[in-house]
Amino acid sequence: MTEKTPIKAAVLVIGDEILSGRTQDVNVAAIARFLAPFGIDLAEARFVPDVEGEIVAALNALRARYSYLFTTGGIGPTHDDITADSVGAAFGLPVTHHPDALALLAARYKPDDFNERRRRMARMPEGASLIANPVSAAPGFQIGNVFVLAGVPKIMQAMLEDVGHRLEQGVPLISRNLTVRLPEGRLAEGLAAIQRENPAVSIGSYPFFAEMRAGAAMGGTTLVVRGRDETAVDAAMRQIAALAKSFGAEPE
Amino acid sequence: MTEKTPIKAAVLVIGDEILSGRTQDVNVAAIARFLAPFGIDLAEARFVPDVEGEIVAALNALRARYSYLFTTGGIGPTHDDITADSVGAAFGLPVTHHPDALALLAARYKPDDFNERRRRMARMPEGASLIANPVSAAPGFQIGNVFVLAGVPKIMQAMLEDVGHRLEQGVPLISRNLTVRLPEGRLAEGLAAIQRENPAVSIGSYPFFAEMRAGAAMGGTTLVVRGRDETAVDAAMRQIAALAKSFGAEPE
């Protein structure tokens, strides 16, 4: 069996609007799905408010612990956009106007509209490299193992296209699903035994209820096997399928 | 001015399926919106995988720091449901079958179907009090300042109905919004000045783009003023409205 040590990443979501429930975060899930084919597991996510001390503490905890850290939010032109300064403080680096970022922004705005606040979007810790923003010009940046991305999902996703080529490639996690019209409580004993016999994989059991799926007459369970060794994943999934069949379930 | 110290809470989202991007979390935002009328601010959220050490570390960090901690996920009958044991470990308490929870579950299942795994859903740290689950019987629980809730959003939301009466009432945050068809970069300098002049409120600026809203010919910005003093919030919002008007914006 080859080395299966996963590469781990974290996401830090920055913004009062997420913690107030005003805005639904969708960036964590998008980053997780983006990282999966690289063999990089999202291992933790945190949401913090627009408070520099909170951002710095979370940045330093997460960048020390994981191979990569992605931040979202707080890189616009207004007073509540404090991510660049917070990242500078976390790294102990001065934050200055990056000349390439200034040039990108200058090309986007009419001279009269390129005010001091918009110039702020070019500020980043010294030594940062730009992350292209094909949507609205103002770039993200990378410093060390930290990728600083926009909060608007459309822009965040576009920025990820300029991140992939900078990432180390791990062994991708393989995932197999089986959905059955059985309550998970009936399968639980057998699933626990299969998990014990198959320590190389991780087995997840996710119940759903009839009203959660259109046209579903009753609820059921989605069973997920994850692992880095395809043979092991498939072997565990065959045991789970046999277990479900023994309770009369037809696979969907 | 009355005392404005906010009561703060955190959410701990437990589950591999959230971190893998397979399932979109919606519970953080729902809990934030539920807490707002109680005058309780959601100050932090964390997502951790189904790993006891990770859950325990996050539980202990968050319950020590905030007045309340809400966990979601990991309270079902399967082997990957380890929240009750993790909470017990975090509190240093034994985890046993709660007799009232056993009775609730026994009433739901036929005797032949009430297997050992389903009985596990009655396990909780000693001294816990039940949180009613009107959807699928298996209760959540409260221990100290920690509320342990289901991960399925419909069940989680139903459980919150049995949580509100246990919470201290703080001073609710008052929030006012103004959406204008102006890019935030044009307003940024004036907004920064208004924020400096109004330290009792927090001003947020959230840009949106034309394609994000049906029928929108151009993008714009939603400006949000939050604070615990209505007079201060309204005063700041009047200044913001005047600022936007000076740039020719009509309020929506």
Q: What is the pLDDT of residues A128-156, one digit of tens each?
A: 999 999 999 999 999 999 999 999 999 99
**Nearest-CA residue of chain A relative to B196?**
A79
Chain B interface test: which of A18, A23, A78, A184 (most B C-beta within 10 Å) = A78
**B29, pLDDT greater than 80:** yes
Structural contact between residues A104 and A180, judged by C-beta atoms closer than 8 angstroms? no
Q: Which two tokens stand for residue A185?
A: 């409580």
C-beta atoms of B33 and A23 within 8 A: no
The reply to whether ipTM tops 0.90 is: yes
Per 3-state DSSP, what percentage of chain A is helix, strand, and coil (rounded to 5)? 40, 25, 35
Give the domain ranges of chain B: 7-166, 174-246
Question: Options 3.30.1360.20, 3.40.980.10, 3.40.47.10, 2.60.40.1120; which CATH number does B7-166 get?
Answer: 3.40.980.10
Torsion sign over Cα A68, A87, B207, B28 = positive
Task: State the Cα–Cα distance between residues A13 and A46, nearest whole angstrom.
Answer: 6
Query: Mean pLDDT over residues B61-70, rounded?
Result: 98
Structural contact between residues B212 and A154, judged by C-beta atoms closer than 8 angstroms? yes
Q: For the whole model, what pTM was predicted?
A: 0.94
A52 near B CB under 8 A? no
Q: How far from B88 is each of B83, B122, B145, B247, CA to CA, in Å?
A: 9, 13, 13, 58
Task: Write down the pLDDT at residue A91.
Answer: 98
Phi-psi region of B74 (alpha: psi -120 to 50; beta: other; left: phi over 0): left
Q: Tell which wins on pLDDT, B151 or A216.
A: B151
Place of tokens 């020590």: B64
Structural contact between residues A157 and B209, judged by C-beta atoms closer than 8 angstroms? no
Q: How far from B136 is each of A139, B4, B102, B107, B109, CA to CA, in Å?
A: 48, 39, 13, 11, 11
One fold for B7-166 and B174-246: no
Q: How confident is the model at residue A49 (pLDDT cuts 50, 70, 90)?
A: very high
Contacts of B61 in chain A (CB under 8 A): none
Q: How many CB atoms lie within 10 A of CB B52?
A: 13
DSSP, res A210: G
- Considering only the beta carbons, identify the residue of B26, B49, B77 that sits closest to A184: B77
| Amino acid occupying residue B196 | R
Calculate what percentage of chain A has a pLDDT beyond 90.
Answer: 90
| Amino acid occupying residue A165 | H
CATH second-level architecture of A174-246?
A: 2-Layer Sandwich (3.30)
Burial of A174 (0-12, 13-18, 19+ CB in 10 A): middle
Q: How far from B213 is each of A36, A205, B150, CA to CA, in Å?
A: 30, 37, 33
Q: Which two tokens stand for residue B58?
A: 């996050």
C-beta atoms of A44 and B41 within 8 A: no
Instruction: Tell me which residue of B16, B10, B6 sits closest to B28, measured CA to CA.
Output: B10
DSSP, res A85: H
**A172, pLDDT greater than 50:** yes
A43 near B CB under 8 A? yes
Query: Mean pLDDT over residues B102-131, rounded?
Result: 95
C-beta atoms of A113 and B224 within 8 A: no
Q: How far from B252 is each of A43, B177, B178, CA to CA, in Å?
A: 42, 10, 8
Distance from CA of B103 to the nearest CA of A (A): 17
Scanning A158-197 for CB atoms below 8 A from B yields 173, 175, 184-189, 191-192, 195
Task: State the Cα–Cα distance between residues A240 and A178, nearest whole angstrom.
Answer: 8
Task: Write down the pLDDT at residue A214.
Answer: 53
- Looking at the DSSP assignment, which residues form a beta bridge with residue B208? B220
The least confident of A182-186, A207-211, B160-164 is: A207-211
Structural contact between residues A53 and A45, judged by C-beta atoms closer than 8 angstroms? no
- Considering only the beta carbons, identify the residue of B18, B202, B207 that sits closest to A76: B207
